[in-house]
Amino acid sequence: MRFSAEAIENKKIQLDAIDKYPELVKDVVAGHIDEDFTLQRLRRYWEPGGGATLYCIVTKVSRYFLKVKHASVFVESMLESETDYIRLPSLQNEANFLSILQSDDVPDLLFYEERNGFSFLAMEMLTPFAEGVDTLLVSELLAAWTDLESFVRSLYDRGIVHTDLHEGNLCFRKSRIVVCDFEEARCLAQHLPFTESLDYCGQNRYGEVGSFPSETNKGIPGLTSLLRLKEVFKSRIRTALLRYLVECKFDHTCSFNADVLQHEDSRIYQSVDCDGILITGQRPLLDGRKHILQYLLAKHWIESKEALHHIDLGSNLGTFCFVAATVPYVSASIGLEAFDRYIVAANALRFLYDAEKASFVRFVCGESKLKDLGMGGEIICTMLSVYHHVENREFFLSDLLSNRPVMLLAEFATQERYYPERGSLVAEIEYIRDYLGYKAANTVSVSSDYKRPLVLFSDGTLKKIDNIYFRMAGKKFFKWALSVLITARGAGRLNR
């Protein structure tokens, strides 16, 4: 980004020049508002910033935001790929874009006028980001980010670049995020993917947007783009999620918990170790079941050329989806969860993990249908300590059969009271194997905490090396051993 010495000099000379003409401000506003009003002076987000003098127009029923700047202060920036500066008054440039865009994602324009050498731009009064963000719930923060990213993508699609995306230029209309300050926006079609665009990553062959002045504003450093704003949102979501996770207990208060004899437990169910959040839950942090899933995914990838998807039935906080989503040979991992509270928490963790390939869907085993997910390719499914909570098992198994995974890794509760139809866990496992038509149901491990069997339903035959890796699950050197296997037996497959 380059900056016009002339525009910056004009800004210095004319900074708050409107203070000499208070009646002019009142006359301009009176020409657009047919009711009594008062003007309240507002401070700038930083000094001198864009150099506008800021007011709040207060009436009996409304409040409006007014920016005033000398018309000689034109758009001061120029991208490296541009040949000249946009010699429009910067407030006129902003008014033009607000008129073009006219959506819930930008402020409503009240009026723009030029008089006596000054530009006057009035719009709806919104809540600044810093004031509104702390009141938002985790779900609202996630929705705000989704809306923000979607809107910036729409700008890209229309050949518009904002160039100055940071929290000082974001506001809220209640919980709805709104992008403000289009003074330095421009029309520029970028012939590259959205994730390489200026408003997304801040720099590309067209130039570079400005840097957030973190030293003077005590913020996260970086270019004024979505990538930097994502770190701002992560900080907020992390704080809100810590409060939210306290309420994510899997006990008798959860309507989908079929264990009527479960003791009171204040812990969350799955442990969390993510981006500064470390919470030990009912299931261990060092969980060997994760390693078994990693091995099965690698085993399938080595043996098959098909696209691989993962689904996790009863995904809770999404632990096993995040394991699968990090694997390059997994196209997508979908967590299916009945409890809305867990879906919100899992989506927050997905945001913190940057787990783009993971997603979470409300799904009630025994009621919902897998075919509605529209997943293609071959599926590896995990069903860990879920089956004994399923009420309509015949419907569930029928649905699973119609969307039969190539492998099903299941962890079963050992209490015989959960299997009244067949009378025992052993009989239930055999019934599931026969119903789903698998050739084998092998107990590959036992969970370290609850001592529950992990049963692999598949059509393949386990080899000696498979059992070696199953026994290594949970050991510190497992990842190294798995990398050796992938290098030795899967060389070149990633590049196919």
Q: Which residues pair with 82 in a beta bridge?
A: none
Residue positions counted in the chain = 496
Mean pLDDT of 127-133: 95
Mean pLDDT of 256-268: 67
Backbone angles phi, psi at 288, to 5 degrees: -65, -20
Identify the pLDDT of residue 28. 98
Mean pLDDT of 307-330: 93
Round to whole Å and give the CA distance between 289 and 268: 18
Mean pLDDT of 118-133: 96
Q: Which residues pair with 70 in a beta bridge?
A: 118
* Position 373 pLDDT exceeds 60: yes
Residue with the larger pLDDT of the pair 50 and 489: 50
Identify the pLDDT of residue 406. 95
pLDDT digits (tens, 9 = 90+) for 6-19: 999 999 999 999 99
Give the β-pairing of 63-70 and 53-58: antiparallel
Band of the pLDDT at 251, cuts 50, 70, 90?
low
Mean pLDDT of 270-285: 89
Kindly report whether the global pTM for this prediction surpasses the value 0.95: no
Least trusted range by pLDDT, from 67-71, 229-233, 284-288, 310-314? 284-288
User: Are 121 and 91 a contacting pair, CB within 8 Å?
Assistant: yes
Mean pLDDT of 385-409: 95
Round to whole Å and give the CA distance between 470 and 289: 9
Identify the pLDDT of residue 496. 39
* Position 468 pLDDT exceeds 70: yes
* Position 157 pLDDT exceeds 80: yes
* Position 213 pLDDT exceeds 60: yes
Band of the pLDDT at 32, cuts 50, 70, 90?
very high
Q: Which residues pair with 115 in a beta bridge?
A: 118
Identify the pLDDT of residue 215. 66
Identify the pLDDT of residue 252. 58
**Letter string b/e over residues 434-447, b meaning 16 or more CB atoms within 10 A of that residue's CB:** eebebeebbebbeb
Round to whole Å and give the CA distance between 293 and 189: 44
Round to whole Å and give the CA distance between 384 and 289: 9
* Position 92 pLDDT exceeds 80: yes
Band of the pLDDT at 495, cuts 50, 70, 90?
very low
CA torsion sign, 295 to 298 to 302 to 304? positive
Identify the pLDDT of residue 494. 39
Identify the pLDDT of residue 47. 87
What's the mean pLDDT when you consider all of the chain? 92
* Position 358 pLDDT exceeds 80: yes
